[in-house]
Amino acid sequence: MKSIAVVCGGDSGEYEISVKSGNVVAKHLNPTRYKAYLLFISGREWYYQDGDGNRFQVDKNDFSISVGNEKIIFDAVFNAIHGTPGEDGKFLGYLDMMKIPYTSCSMATSAITFHKDYCKRIVKTHGVKVAESILLSKNHLPAMEEIIKTTGLPAFVKPNNGGSSVGVSKVKTLDELLPAIEKAMHEDTEVLVEAFIGGREIGCGVLESKGRMIVFPITEIVSKKEFFDYEAKYTEGMSDEITPAVVDEETETYIKATGAYLYQRIGCKGFVRFDFILTPKDLFFLEVNTVPGISPASIIPKQAAFMGISLEQLFDMTLENII
């Protein structure tokens, strides 16, 4: 029996969603193989909480916990922290130092993919299209007219390091640009202004386990809001997620091949979701989520279910890959 620390929480606006994801993972780990411990990571507070609500502090010297007389050293970490420090590499660097394997991408891949601007630059070198953009910070804030020369209007303004569409705006006029940049600056010190890509939003889940790659059926996301904002993401009925997406066979193959290709090029691990925008002519890479949502209502679990893969099987494959 292996002891698995399912880590959740984190230090971003995605805390609550991560706690839900963590609970789903802990509940669906194969009980004949794994003993799951749900660990909460929030700032310097790291603790295991048992079913009765008792808390046990994590010993950060070796990432162990002591329950009664028993000291538990984990065989692996199942990473369910969306956003920092789980998805941007910080916590993963610590786990590397503790020599504890984890389900998600390496520290370096996580750090790069979480930085939207760096990630797009790398994806572009591999021949996949990305939206024109300009990265702003306090020390680099050109005139609004200059920014629009690069991106045109409408434009998307977003925190460079973020998620769940928090602080993201669609800007249609020059006057709206500065307030949108200020809003995004509340979330991050760097802000990305991007050309608007009009098309269909497609999510492509990929998982490699023991050298075998699975590309899940693709999903079209149709938001009832202007774009796939926070409300559309987390309010029942505010978006339609169509799995498998209705596209012709050639396009489907192209999207899946691009997802598989980028997974290998970027050096991903575990299950990740690539988000693309499909225009009549091209496929644009939007972003990659290295710790995507894992509730039964989330995109990858639904894609897996369509293939007949249960949550238990999905999590089994994810863990088998590392221990």
Ligand X SMILES: Nc1ncnc2c1ncn2[C@@H]1O[C@H](COP(=O)(O)OP(=O)(O)O)[C@@H](O)[C@H]1O
Spatial separation of the C-alpha atoms in residues 231 and 239, rounded to whole Å: 9
Nearest Cα residue to 268 out of 321, 323, 192: 321
- Give the number of residues in contact with ligand X, rule: CB under 6 A: 18
For ligand X, the closer of residues 59 and 226 by Cβ is: 226
Binding residue for ligand X (CB under 6 A) from 162, 203, 205, 292?
162
187 touching ligand X, by CB under 6 A: no
Spatial separation of the C-alpha atoms in residues 152 and 148, rounded to whole Å: 5
The site map against ligand X for 252-271 (x = CB under 6 A) is: --------------------
206 touching ligand X, by CB under 6 A: no
SS3 content of the chain, % helix, strand, coil (to 5): 30, 30, 40
Minimum distance, C-beta of residue 172 to ligand X, in the bound complex (Å): 12
Taking CA atoms, 198 is separated from 210, 239, 280, 306, 308, in Å, by 38, 17, 9, 28, 33
Spatial separation of the C-alpha atoms in residues 108 and 120, rounded to whole Å: 15
Minimum distance, C-beta of residue 154 to ligand X, in the bound complex (Å): 8
157 touching ligand X, by CB under 6 A: no
Nearest Cα residue to 307 out of 217, 204, 238, 225: 217
The site map against ligand X for 105-144 (x = CB under 6 A) is: --------------------------x-------------
Minimum distance, C-beta of residue 163 to ligand X, in the bound complex (Å): 4
Taking CA atoms, 255 is separated from 249, 269, 275, in Å, by 10, 19, 10
Strand ranges in 117-218 using DSSP code E only, listed in sequence order: 129-130, 133-136, 155-159, 169-171, 191-195, 200-209, 212-215
94 touching ligand X, by CB under 6 A: no
CB 191 within 8 A of CB 183: no
Minimum distance, C-beta of residue 29 to ligand X, in the bound complex (Å): 27
Report the site for ligand X in 279-298 (rule: CB under 6 A): 286-287
CB 33 within 8 A of CB 8: no
SS3 297: coil
Minimum distance, C-beta of residue 71 to ligand X, in the bound complex (Å): 38
205 touching ligand X, by CB under 6 A: no
Stretch that binds ligand X, among 10-18, 52-60, 164-172, 315-323 (CB under 6 A): 164-172
Minimum distance, C-beta of residue 226 to ligand X, in the bound complex (Å): 9
17 touching ligand X, by CB under 6 A: no
For ligand X, the closer of residues 292 and 301 by Cβ is: 292
Nearest-CB residue for ligand X: 228
Nearest Cα residue to 159 out of 115, 195, 110: 115
196 touching ligand X, by CB under 6 A: yes
Minimum distance, C-beta of residue 149 to ligand X, in the bound complex (Å): 16
Residue 70 structure tokens? 């028993």
Binding residue for ligand X (CB under 6 A) from 88, 194, 241, 316?
194
Binding residue for ligand X (CB under 6 A) from 15, 91, 228, 274?
228
For ligand X, the closer of residues 28 and 301 by Cβ is: 301
Residues ≥6 apart with Cβ < 8 Å to 208: 214, 263, 268, 269, 321
164 touching ligand X, by CB under 6 A: yes
Using DSSP bridges, classify how beta strands 212-215 and 219-223 pair: parallel, antiparallel or unpaired: unpaired
Residues that bind ligand X (CB under 6 A): 131, 156, 158, 162-165, 168, 194, 196-197, 201, 227-228, 275, 277, 286-287
